[in-house]
Every structure is written in C-alpha cells, then in structure tokens.
Chain A
Amino acid sequence: MKKKLVAAIMATAMVATMLTGCSSSGEQSTSKADVPTEPFGDTIKYDPSVEINNGEDISVELWEWGSDELFQQVIDGYTAIHPNVSIKLVNNPWEDYWTKLPLALDGENGPALFNVHNSYHENMINYMAPLDIPLEDLEADFTGVAAHVIDDKVYYIDYGMMTGSVYYNKEMWKEAGLTDDDIPKTWDEMREVAKKLTIKDGDKLIQAGLNFNDSFHQNYLLGLNYQLGETLFEEDGKTPKLNSDAMKQTMQMLIDMYKVDGVGSENFGEKDSDSFGQGQSAMVIQWGHYYNTLKTTWSNIDFGVFEIPTFDGNPYAYNRYNGESTFGVNKNAPEDQQAVAQDFVKYFLANDEAQIAFNLAMSTFPAKKSLADNEEILANPSLSVLSEHIDRYIWPGPMPSTMETSLKTAGQEIFFNGVDIDKALDDAQANAIRDMQSSTFVSVENLYEHAE
C-alpha cells in the first residue's frame, strides 16, 4: 500500500514537472518570437541585426529613481536582442538620487546610463555626452527637440509632455445638477460651475467647488500668464517676470475665487490634491501625474478630466508644460559602455511600445509625433483632453526652482498675511532675481511654435 502511495506521488510529480516544463518552454518560444529582427522606427531606425560590442559580453548600469518595472521592461526588450549586454538597474530614491548621481558621474565607475529630470539640467549637463543621433532625425520624430539643442548638439530630449488639466469629481458634478454640457471653456464659466459645486453649512465650508491650496504657484501662476500673452521671462531669457500684469491678473482671479465667490478657502484642505482625493473638493487643476495617483491612491473617486479653461477662448498658449526626459549618457564612462548606452537610447527612441508604456505610466502626452493619435494614448482621458491643442503649450526651459518657491511665498503672504498683490509679487521678483544671478538658465520660450 505504502509503495503504491509513493508511486502515485512520484507519477503526479512527474506529470506536474512535464506540464511546468511545457509551459516554460512555451513562454520562452513566445518571448523569442517577440524579439525583433527587422529594423524598426520612424526616421530614427533601430537595426537589431547590428552587433553590440562585437558580440562580446559587457555590463552597464542604468540609474533611476522610480518605476523599476517600466525600466526593466525596456531593458529586457533590449537584452533579448543583445544577450551579450547586461544592464543593471540601480534605484536611488529621488531625495538621494541627485546627490549620489553627480558624485558617481564624476568618477570612473559611474553609470553609463541615467534617468534625467530637466529641473536638474544645470547640475547634470556637464556629465553628459551628446546623443549619437542626427539632429534632423530627432526633430523629424519628436516635438520640442529645438529647445534641447546646445551648440548644435542634443544631450537628451523629452519623450513626453506633462501639463495641467482640470480634474472633477463626477459624483459631485451630478449632485450639483451639472452635465457634460456644463464643462467650462472659460474662467468665467469655471467660476460659475465652481459656485454650484460648493457646499456650505452657514459660513462653514463643507465641500470646496475648486481647491488650489499648495499648487496655485505651479498650476496657475506659472502658466496662465501664457493665456494672457505674457511670457515668464524678459527677452534676454534670463530675467524673470514674476510681477507682470498677467501674473497680477491671475493672482487677483485666484483671490476673487476664494474671497468673493467663496468656492474654497486657504484654510480648507492643506493640499488640493489630497483634498480632492479625500472627497472634500469637487475640482482641482493638477498635472498629468495626478491621473495615476488618483487611480492608485484614491481609486474610489470617480473622476473626469477636461482641458484647462481660458480667459477668452483664444489664448496665446493654453498653459506651460514640462517634459519627461530621455536617458542621459555618461561622458566619463568607458567608451565601450558609452557605445552601449548610445545604442540603448536609440532603441528606446525608435521603440513605439516603450514610448507608449512610458507615456501612459507618467501620463505624459507623447513627444513622438507618430503617436499623437495613438489609440492607447487617447484612451487615457488626461492625455486625450490635450490632443487638440498640444501644439499650444509652452515649455519655458528648465527653470530654477526659485520661480516656484518665490511665487509660493508670495501667495502665502497674500492669502495668510494680508500682504497686497503688488508688494508680494515685487518681493517674489526681487528674490528670484537674487537667486538666479549666477544661473546659466536661458528661457526657450522664444522657440514656441506660435510665438508672436
């Protein structure tokens, strides 16, 4: 009896092993079938048949600060084509990344590839090698390349463009008797809708129609100036214009929304993004990344997205955008590693699948022109609302952080300390000028396609 039992267990184990083996080999054959053998891409073509490092084994590192799985997918796709290449993904949290990376790049053993954020442009650019791809090819395939040209060379470009849109709570919208026809196109309409969405118990605010706490400087002041035809920098590209008439008009509108319309309060919800997620505010303006934040952190919120309103329906530009950057190549890395890094960047740029995956993960509108009407991209409402006017968004360049922090301080002085608009914005202007006196930043607003 005992022997029979052992035999039965062994037979079962053998069958299970065989099935597992079949399944495993099946998966392998599928993934092998996915490995491209023919050249792919638009103008920038990637030819998988070209050997890397003469087919000899080589290892490089890729440093990044998040979204490991996303990076790993691209690495896996690349190493499937080039099994002799090993790319080690190294994650450093954002806070550590920007102090560790320059130190690593300064030495001989720094990563050959690293993720770039344009807010650290000044600190990174001296460590980067120019991309080994013709400028005209980059410009043919991607928008916004001209803004990244330095002495006829390009060190990184944007794979996607992120900007602000209005996120609204559909349930609150319905309860207020609003329909899709009520989606506002102008700021006046927006203020009326916000009033309808506001709920009060006497003087006490229960539900804010619109909340901009902690984001007014990033999502309103540094962007709506373009709607009014005003740039953020003087013609020299270096002097900020934080006390411009457009800035004052925008600030006055924000004050009126809270103090006159009463659709929100500086004391109601510390952060607009949290307040919306917690179901306390009906509308917020947030940048693309918020779409995924809502999906993951506040998945119970039924929300919709619409394009940012304008003052008169015919703006100079709709808003400011910022690019999500491609990888940087370490100019201090050994030549063979740099060659792999250059090839990897080319693979990434030519690979539509990777471009779509990165843009969906970051909720950025693809900079790759051929993907502007891609079905997967347009299925994401935070991206589809941008598609009609995507050419009417401006990137001012990698602005120093003082542009944001100085305006944040000014806004707090106005809302909490009762300082008047002119004084607060004059102080912000003076502060930004002092902070930027040694900056090498030059605005690229003049490269805007519809610049007047």
Chain B
Amino acid sequence: MFKKSHPLQSRSEIILRNIVVAVMVVFFTVFLIIPIGIAFAGSFHEWNPLSGTYKFLGLKNYIEVFSSGLFWKSMRNTVLFSVVVIVFRVGLGLAIACAIFSSLVKYKSFFRAVFYMPVVTPMVAVAFVWKFMYNPQIGTVNQILGLDVNWLMNPKTALIAVMIMTIWKDFGYAVVMYMAGLFSLPSDAMEAARVDGANGWQTFRYITLPLLRPMTLFVVITSIISYIQAYIQILIMTEGGPGTDTYLASYIIYDEAFVKYNFGYASALSFVLFVVTAAFTMLSFRVSGSEE
C-alpha cells in the first residue's frame, strides 16, 4: 500500500499555507472588496463623507453621468489618449527592444536601464519638469523648435503635449518587457528560419512577432488599465484646461471626489469606468484569441 500523495509534506506546511491564504483573503477583503462594496452602495447616494451626508438617490447619479456632456467629452479624450499612447508605447518599445537585442549592440543592460529610468521616476516629478519644458516663455521645447506656442493651453496642442510626455515616460516599460520576451524566444525557431533562407524582416514578421504576441497582449492590457486611470499628468500640467479640453475620465472622478466632495457621483463615474475598462480588456483578449 502506498500512502496517499499530498503536495504538502507536513502539518506545519499546511498551517503555514492556511495562514498565508487567510492573511491575503483578509487583506483583499478589507482593502479591496469592502471599499469597492461601499463605493458601489455610495454610487446610489448623495454622499459627502466629510459633512456626513448620505441620502439615497436611486439611479440619479448614473443618469447624470450619462447625460453629462463633460463625461462624454472626457471619455472621447480618454479613448484618444489611451489609443495613441498605447500604440506609441508598444511600437517604440518593440522597436527599441529589437534594436538593443540585436547582436550589433553592446552594453544591453546599460541601454535597458537608461530606457527604464523614466518609468521608475515619479509621474508627479516628470509632469512638473515637462510642464516647465512646455512653458511658452522660457520652456526648452519652444527654444529648440524656434516656436512661440503655449503648448498646454492651446486647444490644438494641449492633449498632444500631455500624450508626448506620457509616451516618453512609459515606453521604457514596453522595452523591458519585450526584451524579456526576446531573450526567451526559442533559438531553434530562429535557426530554422535562417536555414530556410528567411531574411531579417521575414524572421521578424513571421517568427519573432507571433512569438511575442502574449507579451504584446500583456503590455496592451496593462496599458489600457493604466491609461484609463490616468489623471496625475492632467492634474499637474493642465488641470483639465484649456476649458475642459484635456479632461480625462479619471480626472473627473478626482475632481468630483476630492475637490467637490461629491463622492456619490464620483463613485457612479468609477463604476462606469470599471465596466469600460473590463470591456476593453475583454475585447483585447477576444481579438488576441481570435487571431490565434
């Protein structure tokens, strides 16, 4: 007779597992599930936690969200912002990762660190520096380009200026992720392509790119989640202006909750945004899955 096999060898290991799992369950319940539940309930109320106001409104907050011109404007801005920044993040990240990965480039770790540096720099600091660079009087951007543009208060350039800063700050993340993907590619597939006479572009198009698809999906999905929540750069660089031209969905939530203390309306906005984020994420999975 063989003793029934068990992945955990001893009683102490089982106790340890239970403790760790229990801690995580309690942690996520207290800091994630309960706050989300409170916010969800709050989205049906007129809610100001500072003054103690908490009156049931039914669906009024949601109706106001969908009938608000500013909400739809901010959603258009958010989609535009996310698509442009993600396209450049993925495109630049892939291109630079391939360039660094190339056998022609030495000091790979150095370049990887250089491109990753803006990613680990706090957004607040980066946004302040770029705001200074965009200054119409003394900013380096106008000085280098020989222009006289108020980048952050011109309705034609404000959102683009914020996008450029965000791309610069964030594409290093894609570089590092793609480099990890490139280093883990199976060498036999590359060798087989070479033996079959594939040139560099063909190898990239038909071997490298398809093999990197899981990494691309990961970068795109994490980017969608991240950019739909973007508001710090708006808060620091434009405060939503000129007028309301650079309002993003998350900036309205910040504005309603922490400036106007309108937590009920802000919670309703948050849940709408949660559904939008989930929909985009599922769409990305679906597109990726159908291609495979």
Contacts and interface: CB of A to CB of B under 8 A. Distances in A.
A269 interface: yes
Interface stretch (B19-27, B172-180, B236-244): B236-244
A267 B136 contact: yes
Nearest to A204: B148
21 contacts: A122-B51, A126-B51, A126-B52, A267-B136, A267-B150, A268-B137, A401-B259, A401-B260, A409-B241, A409-B244, A412-B242, A412-B243, A413-B242, A413-B244, A415-B242, A416-B150, A416-B154, A416-B155, A416-B241, A417-B242, A435-B262
B281 interface: no
Nearest to B243: A413
Interface in A98-149: 98-99, 102, 120, 122-123, 126
6 residue pairs, one from A and one from B, having the closest CB atoms = A416-B242, A123-B50, A413-B243, A267-B150, A412-B242, A412-B243
A249 interface: no
A68 interface: no
Contacts of B241: 409, 412, 416
A314 interface: no
A232 B53 CA distance: 26
Contacts of B50: 98-99, 102, 120, 123
Q: Which of B51, B136, B153, B155 has the most C-beta atoms of chain A within 10 angstroms of its own C-beta?
A: B51
A280 interface: yes
Contacts of A99: 50
Interface in A236-276: 266-270
A90 to B, nearest CB: 19
Nearest to A419: B243
B48 interface: yes
Contact of A417 (B49, B51, B155): B155
A270 B262 contact: no
A123 B150 contact: no
A412 B261 contact: no
Interface in B232-279: 240-245, 259-262
A334 B215 CA distance: 60
A205 B242 CA distance: 21
B137 A402 contact: no
Given A123-B51, A412-B242, A267 B153 contact: yes
Nearest to A431: B70
A200 to B, nearest CB: 13
A364 B52 CA distance: 32
Given A266-B150, A412-B153, 18 more contacts: A99-B50, A102-B49, A102-B50, A126-B52, A267-B153, A269-B137, A280-B137, A400-B260, A401-B260, A409-B243, A412-B242, A413-B243, A413-B244, A415-B242, A416-B150, A416-B243, A417-B155, A435-B260
B203 interface: no
B267 to A, nearest CB: 15
A438 interface: yes
B77 interface: no
Nearest to B258: A99
Interface string A398-440: 0011100100010011011101000000000000001100100
A308 B99 CA distance: 63
B284 interface: no
Contacts of A405: 259
A409 B243 CA distance: 5
Interface string A339-380: 000000000000000000000000000000000000000000
Contacts of B136: 267-268, 270
A400 B245 CA distance: 23
A402 B256 CA distance: 10
Interface in A29-48: none
A266 B260 contact: no
Contacts of B64: 434
Given A98-B50, A126-B51, A416 B153 contact: yes
Contact of A266 (B52, B153, B259): B153
Contacts of A400: 260
Contacts of A267: 136, 148, 150, 153
Interface string B135-155: 111000000000010100111
B48 A123 contact: yes
Contacts of B243: 409, 412-413, 416-417, 419
Contacts of A120: 50
Q: Which of B49, B154, B242 has the most C-beta atoms of chain A within 10 angstroms of its own C-beta?
A: B242
A42 B253 CA distance: 50
Contacts of B261: 123
Nearest to B134: A270
B64 to A, nearest CB: 8
A402 B260 contact: yes
Nearest to B68: A434
A102 B262 CA distance: 16
Interface in B109-129: none
Interface in A259-297: 266-270, 280
Contacts of A413: 242-244
Nearest to A123: B50
A93 B198 CA distance: 63
A123 B154 CA distance: 36
A101 to B, nearest CB: 9
